[in-house]
Structure 1
Amino acid sequence: MDDIKLAGLMEYELRVLKAFEDKLNGSKVETLLIEKLLALYYRGEFPIRRARVLIEKFKVMRYKEINMQMTAMALAEEAIELLKSDDTGQDTSLLHLRPHYLAIAYSWIGILMLESGKQAIDSFKRALIIWRSILANIPLCFNGADVSQYDIENTKKNIDDVERFYRHLQMLADFFGMSNQPINHILTLKLMLGLNNGIKDDVNASYSVESVTLYIQIGKIYLNLGYTGKAGLAFSQAKVILDSHRCDDDAQLSWMLGYSHYLCAIGNMDKRLF
């Protein structure tokens, strides 16, 4: 087996470890695999693959002691440099994934900068713009928001592991919520709604419960910002999905609580929920 095929197997093993990181501690094996991959993926020959692995190393370094954060930042910056380079070496077949990897790197840099007390507006803005471009042909998950199979498949191929990307967006949404970045929070939730419209494999489950929850979150954020009209629209969109699909009691209750709060906020005490 040649080195590149071996590297492919190691990357697969790394992803398997990541998928089960909540259940087992595979950090030592992850670090070993990452170092072996970086030794195989030379900058000039495999810049995109090397950048992909550098991002994984960044995530490992980020959770270490504070004095490792500068090293983590350098890794992300190297990944961005490689992804922005015109020289693709033997990675021309991965060009369609380069924007996605670039956005991932920008988002991690933004998180690290904010955690270090620095401004991170540009990094997050760049990441969100790239992802919005990737999902440009996918409308938000909603009744009547049809999307062609061609657009679904064409979008999927530009995202490396849709489920993993969705989890990354969930993490970002939580981060924006905790760091009081409502606009970025809304934009991220809308990206998740786009993924729920045929991009994720478990579309039926996502369409109902997850999409209702996302619209409720968007409604609450708009309400806190004072955009009552946009908040009302988000709650209405959630209600349409609730009425059209079988959702669990938690989703129903969550909508009722959110919408009740909305009615109180706009001073409408007489409107019925149903």
Structure 2
Amino acid sequence: MRFLMNYQNIPNDDVFDDSELLLIKYARSFYKTFKKNIKFIQILFPSYKPHYVTIIFSIFLYIFFFGYNIYFFNKYNPLFIREDVLINIGINREIISNKLHFHKLITATLVHPNIWSLIINTYYLINLGITVEKGYGRIHTIALMLFSSICGNLLMCATANCNEAQLGTSTILSGIMGLFLQEVTSNFKKIKGKIEIIGTYLFTIVPMYLTIAMFPHNGNIMGNLGGLFGGYCYPYIFNVIRMNRGPGNTARLVHIGLMGLFLISLILSLLIIKC
């Protein structure tokens, strides 16, 4: 929080207000936890309201997890889904490449390997997602989640070993961090508190990734990089940059081209290089 405290001592600028960055809005939301008369749930979720899309989505994630956990009951580890089930429902290169089960690039996001990864992922998903929804609206929040999930899961699958299995929403979380990064980089010259903004970003992303990485089958670094890239490109491709007039035609075409090459090359690698 030190980065944010330093940031607040920077004078406002008439042209560009650093506090409008979603990254700062997210970090500042936790100041509510120090106020009096706060509801208990707002300690964990400062901006909690039941209508936000990531809260609704998180409820479905718990339903999916307990549904799979009961149907494929693991008597040795009741709060963990069995290894053989993870391979069949998760991001598994052999199944997706050989049997062309490309739908799992989306459906694998809906299931988590254990209750602990589900709790951690939904904690970050709700808090980050609410910030995005306030800035971009519900439709773009859903589209960003879907887009970053596909980008991250494709890269994760194409670079995985044949016997690996990964699941969960870590690619969506990376997509949101990619969106934060896009706002920072596209406005970097106008930002007054550059060091503080960089520090706040690192202070946000590093603990999240370290926590996610504690659990097996909860995504990997390649999936996170793919999700980050998807989230970064999303505002350019769909022309929804929030803090200025939008990307120029050149910038938009460049990002569309890069994303096209990214997706086509990964799909071809899965179709051509079999396990």
Aligning the two structures, in what range does the TM-score lie when normalised by the shorter sequence?
under 0.3
**Larger RCO: Structure 1 or Structure 2 (Cα < 8 Å, ≥ 6 residues apart)?**
2
State which structure, 1 or 2, has the greater radius of gyration over its C-alpha atoms.
1
Taking structure 2 as the reference length, the TM-score comes to 0.25
TM-score of the pair, normalised by structure 1: 0.25
